[in-house]
Amino acid sequence: MPSRRSPQERSRSRFARRQWARRWLTWRYVLVVVVLLGVVGGGVYAVYFSETLSVQGVRVFGEDTVTEEEVLEFAAVPTGGPLATVDLAAIQRRVEQIAAVGAVDVSRRWPHDVQIEIEERVPVAVIDRAGVFRAVDDTGVVFNSYRRAPADLPRIQAADLTDSDALEAAAEVLASLTTEVRLLVDHLEVDGVDEIDLVLRDDRRVRWGSAEASEQKAEVLEVLLQQPGQVYDVSVPGQPTTSGG
């Protein structure tokens, strides 16, 4: 017949079990922390130090007149290193140096690629610089060159073709026109930021003035061109005039 344990023995037994349970709970937390640290550390190593997620390729999107090779040359993306540490801002700045590129977006495409998406400038006019026709976008930036001036783009004739303010003003005027009206324009005569004339392909002339209120002037001109005349003055859009009809 088993002997009965004394109250002191039962108390010591319960105390031992509680001590063991507390120790196991403590070690269990320690074990969880160790496992988590191992997972995090392994992840950090894989992302930032190992070749598992390294740069192995570059994708280019949006190119048309600009070649993929030109984008890659300017981008100079370092390959072989961790994708997570690639300096995307630096790549963007380098690609933005391409004159024909208006906007750039650079991003990571896990696990191994850098993606470069460009938006090219759209020409609204051309200028003749020393016998070379250059494109001008709607902000006045000069970029691509042409052997011959495109037939569908008006020319900008400026007293000073290096005057960036005058080119910007002329480009703003052209950007405000509808496609239909812009196709009627042969060239712009720019004597200054406040002295802009449009000469149409049929030799009619539009006195535009400055680029201020160009959207309103464009709306007035579209209506005014339906009337006979040789000279259309929209420099004061609230008081347009025609003459020489």
**Residue 227 maps to which CATH number?**
3.40.50.10960
131 and 211 share one domain = yes
Q: Is 174 inside any structural domain?
A: yes
What does the pLDDT read at residue 245? 65
Q: CA-CA distances (angstroms) from residue 121 to 71, 80, 135?
A: 14, 32, 9
Report if residue 63 sits inside a domain: yes
In this predicted model, what pLDDT tens digit does every residue of 216-237 receive, in sequence order?
Answer: 999 999 999 999 999 999 999 9
Q: How far apart are CA 214 and CA 205, in angstroms?
A: 16
% of the chain residues with pLDDT over 90: 70
**231 plus 158 within the same structural domain:** yes
Give the residue from 50, 66, 83 where a domain finishes.
50
Residues 71, 180: one domain? Answer: no
The pLDDT of residue 48 is: 46
What's the CA gap between 244 and 178, in Å, rounded? 24
Q: Please give the Cα distance from 143 to 209 (Å, whole number).
A: 26
Q: Are residues 18 and 130 in the same domain?
A: no
Mind listing the pLDDT tens digit for each residue in 4-56?
666 666 566 665 666 665 665 665 555 554 445 444 443 444 444 445 689 99
In a domain, 1, yes or no: no
Residue 203 has pLDDT above 50, yes or no: yes
Per-residue confidence at 175, pLDDT binned at 50, 70, 90?
very high
Query: What range defines the domain where residue 180 resides?
Result: 123-243
Question: Which pLDDT score is estimated for 30?
Answer: 53
Number of domains in the chain: 3
Q: What's the whole-number average pLDDT of the chain?
A: 86
Whether 46 and 61 map to the same domain: the answer is no
Indicate if 183 and 161 belong to the same structural domain.
yes
Rounded mean pLDDT, 121-150: 92
Residue carrying structure tokens 């108390």: 11
Structure tokens at 234: 């929209």
- The better pLDDT of the pair 54, 160 is held by 54
Are residues 133 and 234 part of one domain? yes
Burial category of 85 from C-beta neighbours within 10 Å (exposed 0-12, middle 13-18, buried 19 and up)? exposed
Token pair for 73: 């040359």
Residue 189 structure tokens: 């005569």
